[in-house]
Amino acid sequence: MGWRVHYYSYQNRNDLRLGAGFQGAAMDSHLLNDARGLQARTVAMRREIHRHPELGLDLPRTRETVLDALSGLDLEVSCSEATSGVVATLRGSRPGPTVLLRGDMDALPMPEDTDLPFASEESGRMHACGHDAHTAMLASAAHLLSTRADALAGNVRFMFQPGEEGYGGAKIMLEEGVLEAHGAVESVFGLHVEPRFPAGVICCRPGAVLASVDTVCARIVGRGGHGSMPHDAADPVPAACEIVQAIQSFVTRRFSVFGPVVATVGRIQAGTTSNVIPESAELDITLRSLSEETRERLSAGICQLVEQIAAAHGLRGEADLRRGYPPTINHAAGVALVAATARELLGDPGYLEMSEPLMAAEDFSYLLQRYNGAFAFLGVAPPGTEGGAAPCHSNRMQIDEDAMAVGVAMHSAIALSALRGDS
């Protein structure tokens, strides 16, 4: 069984998208309409960032765009010194806890093939994971919440984060201390766009929502020689092929189907021409799992497999384990708040609980290791795609920009719900 949203009837899409016709009793009834009133600002900011994608931890242009968007608001703003991150705090009218809302800002090193009028103008770079939308939605949420500071029993902290795509920007900003430069954080919430889900629908689940990711860079070292005399060489290629096949058996026979793992050989390379036996072969293997215990067993087993299969061929196997992100584990209380808030804001059809996690990874996981909270998804399927939209990390990835109004309202509603001061 897949995600509930995968088989939810698209016949009701017009009712679902953008929460049409739904208003919660306790929720600010103007919140969604006011978010729509900011739509021109949100879209313009998203498109500006989309045109000029930046990579990694150093995003000077994007940072300036964020600072410009926040200018004029009554916020306490801090800039990360280790990254291009920005942290802004909105003080409520009454004392209380601090809720952190996060939006990541970095793009991917890949070409864009969307033919959009605001397509990337930077060669080999594209916002193919929606971080341009995340940043714009969070900035507009800062504007929306700034008009409602008198309703907040506590503070809202806006985290604009670089380096999610493999650089661990969240961890760097955590360790730097910039997230708590203006006071302690009690809870955290993140919202990620998903073009495969109906526009305007919020999706979440308790427990593991995203996987860990690690990489094993393996090298099989033999002895090169002439292709006509393999007996005089020590060929690493058959051993590398055997390792690829053995990984499949290892995953399916050493791990329960109820504790899923994914091992992918994304790169294999050996030799320079057809009549030369190379001295070495290389494999890059990504490993994904949903718990730290499984993560440790998986990485240790793959490294051992590389070394021992190579040894069985009379070769040397080298396995370099490079740790990535831990699994993203949602807290039950955080998910309960997301679900209740989404239903209050959008009506019952506007929230769908995921039946299973995704095996992608996120550095928001570091925040959830330290703070209570949740990571959720916003459906942004372009009109007419009916579940067949290009996914994140595709060179043709697009979103329904109208759905961003729901994202702005949801960020704001989470803060308002968490800081009502009536519990």
pLDDT category of residue 422 using cuts at 50, 70 and 90: low
Residue 27 is predicted with a pLDDT of: 64
Residue 26 is predicted with a pLDDT of: 53
pLDDT of residue 16 exceeding 50: no
**Residue 44 to residues 2, 82, 84, 396: CA-CA distances in angstroms?**
35, 28, 21, 20
Over residues 345-367, the pLDDT tens digits come to: 999 999 999 999 999 999 999 99
Average pLDDT over residues 23-39: 78
With 0-12 CB in 10 A as exposed, 13-18 as middle and 19+ as buried, what is 224? middle
Q: Are 239 and 222 in contact (CB under 8 A)?
A: yes
Domains and CATH numbers, the chain: 4-206+328-418 (3.40.630.10), 214-323 (3.30.70.360)
Residue 325 catalytic?
yes
Residue 401 catalytic?
yes
Tokens of 34: 């006011």
Catalytic entry in 8, 325, 366, 371: 325
Catalytic entry in 122, 242, 356, 401: 401
280-289 and 214-221 strand pairing: antiparallel
φ, ψ for residue 374, nearest 5 deg? -160, 155
**Bridge partner residues of 288 (DSSP):** 262
Q: How many CA atoms lie within 13 A of 255 on its CB side?
A: 27
Query: Which residue reads 């929460």 in tokens?
Result: 19
Whether the full predicted model's pTM is greater than 0.85, yes or no, is yes
pLDDT of residue 292 exceeding 70: yes
Query: Which residue reads 């550095």 in tokens?
Result: 363
Residue 387 is predicted with a pLDDT of: 72
pLDDT of residue 376 exceeding 50: yes
pLDDT of residue 8 exceeding 50: no
Residues 6 or more apart whose Cβ sits within 8 Å of residue 96: 152, 153, 154, 155, 419, 421
Q: What percent of the chain stands above pLDDT 70? A: 93
Q: Are 88 and 142 in contact (CB under 8 A)?
A: yes
